[in-house]
Chains A and B, each alone.
Chain A
């Protein structure tokens, strides 16, 4: 992996982000809804409204607003949230770690479930477990993440299953003066295993909801590329060498089958991040997805813009990571 490649990719991210900023800005001005009307009570006088409009710069022309917005962006100023009256950058960065940890947990779960299903399907190729794997992954895939979330909540409520929390991020009984919002990481570093356990438990259902559809996709793609790898001549030679089937699947086929799976997982991960918007809301999980819904309901234009840009940066970062992983996985791609 050359530094030049990394630099080139980072430079290419700039026009993408500019494009996203423009589109979000224009879209938000097209859709109906007045942030000021959402902000003040019904008894406000036209003069009050006018004053607020001036305060947020909403009285100016579209082009003026845009120039102002971009000018501020370049200086790292994302504006002030209309509904929360706080700096957008601070708000978003404060909550971003919560969503990042959730997404990370979800992707780990998805890889574990999907990988296990795929390997089992390939190992028992042509026998009933393979049909089982296909059936299970088809079923999982048919239900979207937010529906899984609702199903899990229904399940917990119906069976009065108090062991599994369905809202929030940390049990109220636990006092934890966090320095960062990376609770999972921080509790681990500070050896607060009670916190770690509680955060993990609260994370389980939302992460599982996000992970399940992705795990089914991973299972399908990995299984078909594993099956293809298993027909290769080097697998035949490994059989002649006398290796067991599971060892051949794990060591000869897996690594060669990973490239298409990683590509797809990267693309699907972006959907997973999008899925946090609904799933976090359903589980009252305090991440940026939850925040995005509130921002939209309140027509909080600066906050929405900040959040969308944040999602865009996440997508670009994930894609860059995926591209970088190719070189690790495939020795033939290590040059250039």
Chain B
């Protein structure tokens, strides 16, 4: 089966005031149609940046210095704006991290769902309105008829994340980048939202690139997983295998540092600093080698 998203040897630098920081050091991964692919790593590992490059929303200071990102068979790394816009929404969508800030506070919920439907599917106001109601019901929002007329501040965080999930699935995209979609939520709401994403994903057959630092989440929802550290892929494979028998010592350390609902008594261990130092040194060596080459 050919991949819907195929990232090969992606290199990316952040250039700020003449300093060049290597963020991604040859990241490769592929997401197959209909699968949930976890992208795991600590803060600063570059996992969110991968998602941003895929969506074309990397900051202006970010420079892709090598590699390729192919979506649905076409190269999208340096795509011109106009071509990319028609790809967005319809082909590619995002479930953002923070539901509190990702909806426009000055616009009604309904309008924020219908706008994307009207833009990409050419629906009229009436049809888009009907579809928005159906989408809200899909994400299990009761009294959808009232919610469409409400403003974001009238909804709770969990409700807003449901709305954002509805927006992401609105045009039936082929791939959704979910950027830590549960991190900003309450623990009890987290599980509901996670279940909802899985349910929507299975019904629509959408592929998801699931960016997270939470291995517990990976275990619940992902089919395959890629472990990222300092912009390098340390390990990848089926989620179950990586979690139950991690090959890389870093993945093992990460597992021990993750709280587990099923073993509340376990003590957590931080990732050993020596291991992090070793990996960072390896990354630096990689940079030198690349600079010399």
Contacts and interface: CB of A to CB of B under 8 A. Distances in A.
A234 B104 contact: yes
A238 B88 CA distance: 10
B94 A242 contact: no
A232 B116 contact: no
B88 A256 contact: no
A104 B96 CA distance: 44
A241 B57 contact: no
Given A331-B151, A332-B153, A240 B103 contact: no
Contacts of B167: 237, 241
A330 B96 contact: no
A252 interface: yes
A237 B164 CA distance: 9
Interface string A203-247: 000000000000000000000000000001110111111111000
B98 interface: yes
Given A244-B85, A332-B151, A234 B115 contact: no
B39 interface: no
B119 A242 contact: yes
Given A234-B104, A256-B104, A240 B57 contact: yes
Contacts of B55: 240
A256 B120 CA distance: 25
B105 A237 contact: no
Nearest to A126: B60
Interface string A105-126: 0000000000000000000001
A240 B104 contact: no
B93 interface: yes
B105 A332 contact: yes
Given A236-B96, A255-B106, A329-B106, A242 B101 contact: no
A237 B176 CA distance: 12
B119 A256 contact: no
Interface string B90-122: 101110101001111111000000011001100
B137 to A, nearest CB: 21
A329 B103 CA distance: 16
Interface string A292-336: 000000000000000000000000000000000000011110000
26 contacts: A126-B60, A232-B101, A233-B102, A234-B105, A237-B94, A237-B167, A239-B88, A240-B89, A240-B92, A240-B94, A241-B88, A241-B89, A241-B167, A242-B88, A242-B89, A242-B90, A243-B115, A243-B119, A252-B104, A256-B105, A330-B105, A330-B106, A331-B105, A331-B151, A332-B105, A332-B153
Which of A126, A236, A240 has the most CB atoms of chain B within a 10 A radius of its CB?
Answer: A240
Contacts of A239: 56-57, 88
Contacts of B3: none
B116 to A, nearest CB: 5
B116 A242 contact: yes
Contacts of B96: 233, 236-237
A243 B104 CA distance: 14
Contacts of A251: 107
A111 B60 CA distance: 31
Contacts of A241: 88-89, 93, 115-116, 119, 167
Nearest to B94: A240
